[in-house]
Structure formats: structure tokens, C-alpha cells
Chain A
Amino acid sequence: MIPLSLSTLALLALAGIGAGWLGAWIGIGGGIVLVPAFVLGFGLDPKVAVATSLLTVIATSTAAGSVYVGRGLSNTRLAIALEIATSAGGVLGGLAALALPAHVLAGIFGGVMAITAVAMLRASTIHDVGELEPTTQPSEGTEQSGSLAGTYYDEVRGGLVHYQPRRPAVGSAIAMCAGLVSGLLGVGGGFLKVPAMNLGMRVPIKVAIATSNFMIGVTAAASVFVYFGHDLVHPLLVAPVALGVVFGALAASAYSGKAKHGSLKRVIALVLLIVAVQMGLRAFGVNVGR
């Protein structure tokens, strides 16, 4: 049992607003921020912290998704294709966690994430992926039946962007890593799915963010039943965070059309570096989070 004062409830809601805003903004669940905040700031049991964080991920995904779907920003075919790789990665992650010492795995992933962050920063000059068809008339994005290709309307670039995802093998491999990491860190792994699509498959960053946002909701939804089964759901604890998340995610996704590509990449790179440091610390035996 965890006592909840009014100020605790208010702080939980504030943490939710921040996580929802960041999550919808760059296509992640926000677990990498929420889990350490719950453990260090609120003194929660790490397992309860992970469960609470993943439950609120569905709120981020659904709230932002209700805005993105109307604009046709997310590529649902790409999401479903990558979801298979991510699920496979989750299973492999479970096996790898049994076979290798956790600190060795953490060291490897920390290194991979630091490299991805640097790649993300260096790539910030080539953010205009896809073919631009200038138009002043905003229109809904489309997908091409039987393929991963699609179009979306970009407010900042001022036109309809036609894109064709490339190198599905590379994207799938990174998406599988996202599954591996989520098993290890207890977070959703959205922070790796966005680079997987953007850097790996040359998908425009805004489409990558909206698609990742859809995927994290699907993955997290399955775990709800697991957490109920393991007595890890504390409804009064989840509610203020989830409500805050809905508010933050709706606000961020309404504004997302105007976001500059370069700044999105820099924020994602920064988040990747934070996780890389977290992983690096874990490799040397310091645990932040689970």
C-alpha cells in the first residue's frame, strides 16, 4: 500500500503531463523518464514503477494516435510489419537475458544506443526524406496497398511527401533490438523504433514518430493483462499519471505538425544518450530503474 497525499497526486499528474508531452512529441512511451522518476522521486518498487509506466504508455499512444490517424501520419502497414520483429525481439531478449550476465547486455546496448544517438545527430542535415510535391492544400496521408510506400502532408515543408521505406531487413533488425531492450530495461523501446525507421529505412521522421506511437500502444496493451495477473496494477497510482499523460499527449500531438525536423532529431538523440548513460551505469553495477 502506498499513501497518496494531494501533493503526491499532483506531482504524479505533472510527471504524466511531461511524459505524455515528450512521448507524443518524439514517438516514445516515456518509460525511460517515468521509471527512474517513480523509483527515485516517489520511492516506488521498481516492478510497480515499470508496470505503472507501461500502463500509461497506452494512454500516450491512444491520445496521440487519435490526432495522428485523422491526418494519416502513421503508416499502419509499416507498424504491423515491424511489430512482428519487435515481438520476436522480446522473446529473444528473454532468452538472451538468461544466457548472458545482465551487465554485459547492458554494456552492449549502452554502446549501441550511444552510436545511434551520434548517427541521429550527424544525420540532422539530411532530414528531407522522400519526394516533395508542393501544394498549399493540406490533405490526408495515404498508404499504398500491398507495399510499405505512402504519402503524408508536411506543414513545414509545404507539400505532399511521397516516400518509399527502404532496407526492411535493417529496420527489422533494429526493431528487434528495440524488443530486446524493452525486455531488459522494462521500457517500451520506442526510442529505438524511431531511428530504426528514420535512419534505417529512410522513412520521414514525422511518419516514423506517428508509426512508433501506434506500435508502442499495441505492445503495451498486451502487458496490461500480465500486470493484473501479477498484482502490479495500483489503480489509484496509475489514474493521476494516465490522466496527465492524456493531457500532455493531446497538447503535443496537436502542435506536432509545426515541429521542425532538426529539433525533433536532436531531442531524440538526447533521450538516446540518457538511456545509453543509464545502461552504461548498469554495466558497472549502478541500477537506475529496474
Chain B
Amino acid sequence: MQWVLRGGLAIAVVLMLAGLAIALVTGQRMAGAVSFADLLAGHSLPDQLIALGLLVLAATPLARVIALVIIWTVQRDRTFALLGLVVVAILAAAIASGYG
């Protein structure tokens, strides 16, 4: 479990540091909003790197919940595997509906 969190954190930190460093070196000093469309359409490199880091960061707690559901299923802890699945469903619905 710990490697999920450490790995996710390390990748996110490296991506955000790289993005920030490139922005400083190239003199990009305006922080603007970035959408998913911008990321795919080749926005500025620093913004893309940092946004990717944020997505990796967001994926780590979600991965932790999914890992728990799998662990509890293997341990035959049915009650909590089911509760975990409900949380996964709620999160999926929140992500899909675009309403946090």
C-alpha cells in the first residue's frame, strides 16, 4: 500500500518541479487556467507537466481505495469490500457528473 502513495507522490513532485523549473527558465510568469482540451491540444509545456502531476496526485488516493476493495475481497471481509465499492461508485459518479 505504501508504495502506491510514495510512488504517486514522487512522480507528481518530479513533474511539478520540472514544470515550474521550465517556466522559470523560459520566463513564463503568467498563471492561466488549463482545461483537459488544452492539455491534449499542446498547451505550454510547464502547464502540461504540472497538470499531469496533479492528475497523478489525484489518482493515488483513488488507487488506494481500489486496492483496499481488492484486499478486503481477498480477505473475505464482505461488509467492507461492499462499503468500499459504494465509495468507488460515489467517486465515479462525482467524476462523471462533473459535480464534486
Give A contacts to B, CB under 8 Å.
1-5, 9, 48, 55, 58-59, 61-63, 65-66, 69-70, 76-77, 80-81, 83-84, 87, 90, 94, 145-146, 214, 217-218, 220-240, 242-243, 246
Contact = CB atoms under 8 A, between A and B. Distances in A.
A80 B84 contact: yes
Interface residues of B, number: 54
Main secondary structure of the interface of B (DSSP, over half): helix
B77 A145 contact: yes
Given A66-B5, A233-B54, A1 B35 contact: no
B33 A232 contact: yes
Interface string B1-27: 110011011001100110110010000
17 contacts: A3-B30, A3-B31, A55-B57, A59-B9, A66-B9, A84-B86, A87-B87, A90-B100, A146-B80, A221-B58, A222-B62, A222-B94, A229-B35, A235-B34, A236-B31, A236-B32, A236-B47
B91 to A, nearest CB: 5
A62 B9 contact: yes
Contact of B58 (A5, A87, A225, A246): A225
A233 B87 CA distance: 25
Given A235-B47, A246-B13, A214 B54 contact: no
B33 A236 contact: no
A223 B80 contact: no
B70 interface: no
Interface in B31-75: 31-36, 46-47, 50-51, 53-55, 57-62, 64-65, 68, 75
A16 B53 CA distance: 17
Given A222-B94, A224-B54, A229-B36, A84 B87 contact: yes
Given A80-B68, A146-B79, A66 B2 contact: yes
Interface of B: 1-2, 5-6, 8-9, 12-13, 16-17, 19-20, 23, 28-36, 46-47, 50-51, 53-55, 57-62, 64-65, 68, 75, 77-80, 83-84, 86-87, 90-91, 94-95, 98-100
Contacts of A222: 62, 91, 94-95, 100
Contacts of A3: 29-31
Given A58-B58, A222-B94, A238-B50, A2 B87 contact: no
